[in-house]
Structure 1
Amino acid sequence: MPAIETIELTKTYQGHGGCREISLAVPHGCIFGLLGPNGAGKSTLVKMLVGLLQPTSGEARLLGRPLEDVSVRKRIGFLPEGFRYHDWLSGEDLLRFHASLYGLSSREASERIPVVLEMVGLGEQGRKRVGAYSKGMQQRIGLACALLSDPELVFLDEPTSALDPIGRKEVRDLLVQLRARGKTVFLNSHLLSELETVCDRIAIIKQGRLLFQGDWRELAGPLRQARVVVSMGIGVGVDTAVTLGAPAALTQELTLSGITLTKATPLPAEADKPPRAEWLLTWSENPPDIPRLVETLVRFGIPVHEVAPLAGSLEELFLETIANG
């Protein structure tokens, strides 16, 4: 049974907005990303799942229990976007307060609080007032609150929005550790590069409707391009138009193999290096044998510095899906 299952889950406001007929299945032990433009219904969906909004229609189950079962919320953590905590409390006091809301005993809270503070990088900052925390530290204490009860399922809304690059990497590493422990993470973020790095599966919604769910790499399909860095002016003539692109005989042989040189771009000059160009090779059928491709280029006297097959980024695939959805 999935960690999260929704069946035509719908929430509208006087018949407008919200999200409609969302059917999701989120497996246990994965990091699941929710994507969509502003106003797509992402926050509405998350608020229904954590019990802050009542659905208009449809069904949902969390960890095998229906949304109406309040007891399941003890097994769930939630970090909302734009949260504000009590400025006058220390980080430790805030966590004790949240421990009481979860129903943890004093002993359980005393054992768990140092653990989560260390997990989020606040091991030495627990006695400081929350009001004296930086934005990044406040984001970290919010994450600590979400993880306090050692939940099986965690909802995180923009968990890295206030963090610097080091902090974002630490959070990504933490999410991977949670997955390794069998936890399920439901992640809502506008930082698509973050989702691309850690998510096993995603869902894309637009105007309240589900467009896609599954492994985001399925949207990319098979690899269709390769980036090749070559030296210019060696073995390819002296005229600029010729040295930047491929010689005619090579172009013909590549074409016979189903490969097209679609773009040739000079790279910035570097000291002690010959002029170089970046070629973009594209094919429509099965991908070529890369070692054989390199062998062909070298046979035509092309010094090859780098060959890298290219896959579409999550951002590119997301934008294409939204445009066509």
Structure 2
Amino acid sequence: MWAIETRDLTKVFRTLTGKAVTAVSGLNLRVPVGDVFGFLGPNGAGKTTTLQLLLGNMRPTRGTAFLFGHPVGDPEIRRLVGYLPEKFQFHDFLTAEEFLDFHARLHGLPARLRRQRVDAVLEFVGLQQRRRSKLREFSRGMLQRLGLAQALLNEPRLVILDEPTSALDPLGRRAVRDLIVQLKAQGVTVFLNSHLLSEVEMTCDTVAIINRGRLLFQGQLRELLQVPTQLDIRVQNPSPQWQRIAAAFGEIVAVNGDVLSVRTRDENAVPDLVVALVNAGARLLSVVPKRLSLEDLFVQVVTDERR
């Protein structure tokens, strides 16, 4: 069983002139239970539409979506989902306690349980000392933690977070990231929609990349990052001979002056390459290994799809 599974999920909108615009096309997602799942794509890729389909706020044109094996429209399953939208409406005249009590009432929690859950989530996000402070006194980071607390009131098995760190400073991002790690430790599945790829790289187990409503990649983050190692080798008196030797160990990516860039999938070949060059008489000034980041790979995947 998957925390989230979609089968051929498709959403087509009609403009005022009747033109069909496909926002999501044949999406087949599988989110493992207990994972932190990163959902990535450029602006206009269909991420927001997908979230609304998963939350049951929008009906698909075609296809189906399941949460823990049940259709998204099942009321029992929807009670197991917490959601923090990108632009949450905070009523700044309320205290943190009043704000959470209001949302607990929306969940239909009885009075005694409301008090217990408000206490529990305030403690979890580290705001118990500010429970009676007005929200107008809160920083952006504190508000975001409070928004996450709201998403946890119903003790969800799945939490969907839409750009939870986009407007935060580095300290605020770290605080939210730490909370996500704690949720994972408790067995909660986290679906993270974010364009901050460095945050995704530090947090997520699995990722999916979409563009123009289509799925381009889905899998373990370590699989996505399992790309060739690139070496920038600076050689005194560069020669075509050194390029021929390097080509036996990997792909010559670029030659820029005295720097030879070589890409190899086998990290164990790196020492052999260095030894081969030295034995052939090359004088190496530096050997700098280079790994592609998630951002580099994201740009590569999306760019290749556009060609």
Question: Which range, TM-score by smaller chain?
Answer: 0.7 to 0.9
Higher Rg:
1
- Tell me how far apart the structure 1 counterparts of residues 253 and 299 of structure 2 sit (CA, whole Å): 25
1:144 counterpart letter in structure 2: A
| Corresponding residue to 2:213 among 199, 208, 215 | 208
Cα shift at 1:92 = 0.8
The answer to whether the aligner puts 1:255 opposite 2:234 as a matched pair is: no
Cα shift at 1:221 = 4.3
The answer to whether the aligner puts 1:30 opposite 2:48 as a matched pair is: no
**Closer, same or farther: CA 196–285 of 1 in aligned 2, 3 Å:** closer
Contact 2:12 2:61 in 1 (8 A): yes
Percent identity, aligned pairs only?
46
Cα shift at 1:227 = 5.2
TM-score of the aligned structures, taking structure 1 as reference length? 0.80
Query: What SS class does the counterpart of residue 245 from structure 1 fall into?
Result: strand
- Tell me how far apart the structure 1 counterparts of residues 136 and 23 of structure 2 sit (CA, whole Å): 34
- Tell me how far apart the structure 1 counterparts of residues 91 and 156 of structure 2 sit (CA, whole Å): 23
Cα shift at 1:317 = 1.2
1:9 corresponds to: 9
Query: What SS class does the counterpart of residue 88 from structure 1 fall into?
Result: coil
- Tell me how far apart the structure 2 counterparts of residues 13 and 169 of structure 1 sit (CA, whole Å): 38
Cα shift at 1:166 = 1.3
Task: List gaps (5 residues or longer) in structure 2.
Answer: 15-19
Cα shift at 1:62 = 0.5
| Corresponding residue to 2:127 among 122, 128, 131 | 122
Residues 229-276 of structure 1: CA deviation (Å, up to 9, x unaligned): xxxxxxxxxxxxxxx6335589379537526594679xxxxxxxxxxx
1:40 corresponds to: 45
2:114 counterpart letter in structure 1: A
Equivalent residue runs for 1:154-303 within 5 Å: 154-226=159-231, 245-247=235-237, 251=242, 254-255=245-246, 257-258=248-249, 262=254, 281-284=261-264, 286-292=266-272
**Closer, same or farther: CA 148–226 of 1 in aligned 2, 3 Å:** farther
Q: Which moved more, 1:14-23 or 1:73-82?
A: 14-23
- Tell me how far apart the structure 2 counterparts of residues 6 and 158 of structure 1 sit (CA, whole Å): 21
Residues 106-145 of structure 1: CA deviation (Å, up to 9, x unaligned): 2222222233223323232221112332222222211110
1:316 corresponds to: 296
Contact 1:77 1:149 in 2 (8 A): yes
Contact 2:9 2:25 in 1 (8 A): yes
Equivalent residue runs for 1:23-172 within 5 Å: 23-172=28-177
- Tell me how far apart the structure 2 counterparts of residues 246 and 164 of structure 1 sit (CA, whole Å): 44
Task: List gaps (5 residues or longer) in structure 1.
Answer: 229-243, 266-276
Cα shift at 1:302 = 5.2
2:79 counterpart letter in structure 1: K
Query: What SS class does the counterpart of residue 212 from structure 1 fall into?
Result: strand
Number of matched pairs: 296
Contact 2:11 2:62 in 1 (8 A): yes
Cα shift at 1:22 = 1.1
- Tell me how far apart the structure 2 counterparts of residues 320 and 253 of structure 1 sit (CA, whole Å): 27
**Closer, same or farther: CA 303–309 of 1 in aligned 2, 3 Å:** closer
**Closer, same or farther: CA 264–94 of 1 in aligned 2, 3 Å:** same
Contact 2:7 2:29 in 1 (8 A): yes
Q: Which moved more, 1:159-168 or 1:113-122?
A: 113-122
Query: What SS class does the counterpart of residue 124 from structure 1 fall into?
Result: helix
Contact 2:104 2:114 in 1 (8 A): yes
- Tell me how far apart the structure 1 counterparts of residues 188 and 102 of structure 2 sit (CA, whole Å): 24
Contact 1:116 1:144 in 2 (8 A): yes
- Tell me how far apart the structure 1 counterparts of residues 113 and 160 of structure 2 sit (CA, whole Å): 22
